Amino acid sequence: MANISEKESFNRISPEEYMEFDGNFLENPYSVTYPEICAVASEDEKKVELIERFDCIGGAMWAKSHYTKSPLVKSSKILGNTQRFMLDTGSVNLDLQGSYFPAGISEVAVEDSEISITYIGMGGGGVGASICRSSACGVLRHKTDPSGGGKVAGSTIWIPKFTRVVIGVDDTDTPEEGATWTLAHNISKSVEDKNSRYLSHTITQLFPVPYRTKNCVAIACEFATTEPQRLLDRFEALLSRYTLSEKTGLCAYIGFDASSLLDFGRSVKAGEVTLSDFEKIRDLLEIRMEGRGIIGAAAAIPFYTNYDEALLI
């Protein structure tokens, strides 16, 4: 009889033998917990951006396909391992139909310092709408229906009302050493805590001015936070410590929609811009380090998560 390798022998054992052999059991075979759910609200509390960090790409793509059929969902996009739903606040009745519209978001509310989201679905969609989301990190409390099989089930979750902060950084390196994109990312990871969630990192290509280091890019780091000033204080302290340049620019946009900076950002991508041009948008920003890099830092902000336009040259 031919010798059987350890790997071949392992692959031939039955599921029952495997469970006995390995000693591991699935704690909950019919639930996939979302690692994190958070949200930011607009200043007038009429809009919410819901950010779901997912563990199963198939489940996220399925939700993207069906949840956008809900009247409250204005758009959805996948960014890395997160899915973002742009939502209107309000409450609607969903006419669920198996296969065609099996799950969705039926209510969104901003209540003082919290945001509540109500999901509902049928069958497997009900599992995703209930236990999968209500057990996510970031959920303060929840009301959840029993789910599974053919049941219609859902949940309401309450999460903190976060504010969006987009931090712009430019000119931290020298011709000899350094890289702004790496420093900004590492600082963002370092300052992240339960009250300030690091959401995205965007590299924006700028017009190649003669005094650039080499590639002429600036960085936007996006956060959801309940403590904007503490976040900026910590970010500034680390950037001041580790920057290699005396020309560093550091500023931030605090608010739901940074599109008021878009014209300025596009002008910095198209040609050389002066400090007098920067004065026109100064009041829209919180400025922390005002070296020559402040122009690029501000220009990067409106392109956060808009990677296609950010990288155009």
| pLDDT tens figures, 131-176 | 999 999 999 999 998 888 888 889 999 999 999 999 999 999 877 7
Reading the block at residue 29, the tokens are 């075979």
Q: Are residues 150 and 183 in the same domain?
A: no
CA end-to-end span of the chain: 66
Residue 25 lies in a domain: no
Q: What is the pLDDT of residues 176-230, one digit of tens each?
A: 788 999 999 999 999 999 999 999 999 999 988 655 555 589 999 999 999 999 9
Reading the block at residue 84, the tokens are 């973002």
pLDDT confidence of residue 13: 53
The structural domain count of the chain equals 2
The per-residue pLDDT of the chain, averaged, comes to: 90
Asked if pLDDT for residue 266 goes beyond 80, the answer is yes
Q: Are residues 43 and 132 in the same domain?
A: yes
Asked if pLDDT for residue 12 goes beyond 60, the answer is no
Beta strands, E only, the chain = 36-41, 47-53, 73-79, 82-88, 90-91, 103-111, 114-122, 141-144, 152-160, 163-170, 196-205, 217-225, 249-254, 286-290
* CATH assignment of the domain containing 275: 3.30.70.2200
Number of helices (H), then strands (E), in the chain: 11, 14
**pLDDT range class, residue 14, cuts 50, 70, 90:** low
Q: What is the pLDDT of residues 58-111, one digit of tens each?
A: 999 999 999 999 999 999 999 999 999 999 999 999 999 988 999 999 999 999
Q: Are residues 143 and 173 in the same domain?
A: no
Q: Are residues 236 and 287 in the same domain?
A: yes
Give me the domain span that covers residue 65: 36-160
Query: How far is it, in rounded angstroms, from Cα 279 to Cα 273?
Result: 11
Once rounded to an integer, what is the mean pLDDT over residues 286-297? 95
pLDDT confidence of residue 7: 43
**pLDDT range class, residue 9, cuts 50, 70, 90:** very low
pLDDT confidence of residue 6: 44
Scan for tokens 């089930």, then name that residue.
Answer: 153
pLDDT confidence of residue 167: 98
Query: How far is it, in rounded angstroms, from Cα 29 to Cα 243?
Result: 48
